[in-house]
Amino acid sequence: MKKIVTASLIAASLIYSSNAFAVGNGGNTTPQRFINANKKSDIELEMSGFLTWYVAASNQKKDLYTSSEDSRDHHGRKQTGNDNIGLISDSEIDFEGSYQFEDGEGHDTHKLSFHLGLDAVRGDIDVDESYIQLQNNYGRFVVGNYRNVGKAMAVRAPDISKMGISSTNATNFVKMTDGLAVNQTEYSHVDKNTAKIAYFTPKINGIQIGVDVMASDSSLEPKNTSYDNKKVRFDRAADAVIKYTTKINDYDFAASFTYDYTHPTFKGALSNLEGIKDEKDIHQYGYGIRFGQKNWEFGGTFRKVNASVDIGKEMKYKGRNIEKGWNWSAGYLYKWGKYRMSASILQSRAKNFYKRNKNDVFTIGILAFDYIPVNGVNLYTEAGYIDMDSAADTSKRTSRTPFLVAGIALNF
């Protein structure tokens, strides 16, 4: 039933978005509003999202132990490489139904909205986010399956690439090597849209604060969490962000600090079978800064993860795990007319699972160009390099892969 409903929503979305482009709206990226045929409802329904198709070419060696879902060797480890070239589709469609409350004098007071986000990559469809939101002069309240406040607010390095350096989409065609310890995001990613309660303050003198709290995610299946094992969960977690934005002379300036706390449970964990049990709380600290003018921006981040060295064996999702260590990123963005260019890099250093006194090093760099002929249409090309350097004594866990991407994106 869920698949039928999801497919119906996708179909309706595509039909509506194609009609929107057909009437010549110039690719306007403002959320599209449906004409409500049911006059009995006061809910206003809006839709936004993107569709992209791109050709990706890479050169990754074939004899790797990887974290994908294909055939495995006799140890149960992946021993497959990557196709040299492929055509990949990606899309996201967000629906929002909202109702605006008014006081007795006709002034807007509260806005209540319901959000549903669908994500589709290579034909796999997921409900990405689903939550209720209340917004008023006192701030914004969110309840449901929502990104954490760090992902929503943290200042990141400038990067226009569709692949991205943070939790990169390049893993759609470049395989992550098995057992590589890596912290691959500029924000906390332990919870993966777990149900939570979040609050964002109004911006006062350029300062805004966001906090969220989460209970145990024991009701979720492993594919919807950050873990491979059903008995590995977190009991509680919380995130907090403080962000400051201002204008100094002709320069825009933004800075943020993030803190993330998670208490895990390793009951039934694979590491316990080896006689290891360390349920040390996870603490993550992140800093970001960004400044620039109308046509250029520069910025970077630093993030530290303080956790048990055993944590990464269990807390991983599609090869993107969390482990004791740190990462940094930097980026530069330049715009001229309808063209944009960015150069960005992210590097992670984290404790190796097999040699605890050595670090695995993950580095990704991307040079990206795009052209916007009309609002809502992007033509883009990207050149990148991913270096996965494992401290383990095997060349099958180390990979150095250049890649090229070219594609088109429609934003509505």
Note the pLDDT of residue 22. 36
The predicted structure's pLDDT at residue 386:
94
Q: Which fold has domain 2-411?
A: Porin (2.40.160)
Task: Report CA-CA distances (Å) from 247 to 252, 298, 340, 388.
Answer: 5, 15, 22, 39
Residues 6+ apart with CB under 8 A from 340: 160, 333, 334, 369, 370, 372
- pLDDT in the model for residue 230: 53
Q: What is the structure's pLDDT at 229? A: 52
In the predicted model, residues of the chain with pLDDT beneath 70 are 1-41, 65-83, 104-106, 121-124, 192, 216-233, 266-279, 309-321, 393-394
Handedness of CA 313, 316, 319, 321 (dihedral sign): negative
**Domain limits of the chain?**
2-411
Whole-number Å distance between alpha carbons of 301 and 293: 19
pLDDT at 313: 64
AA identity, residue 391: A
At residue 321, the pLDDT reads 62
- The pLDDT value recorded for residue 70 is 44
Give the DSSP per-residue string, 103-128.
-TTS-EEEEEEEEEEEEEETTEEEEE
- 234: its two tokens: 């977190």
What 3-state class would DSSP assign to 17? helix
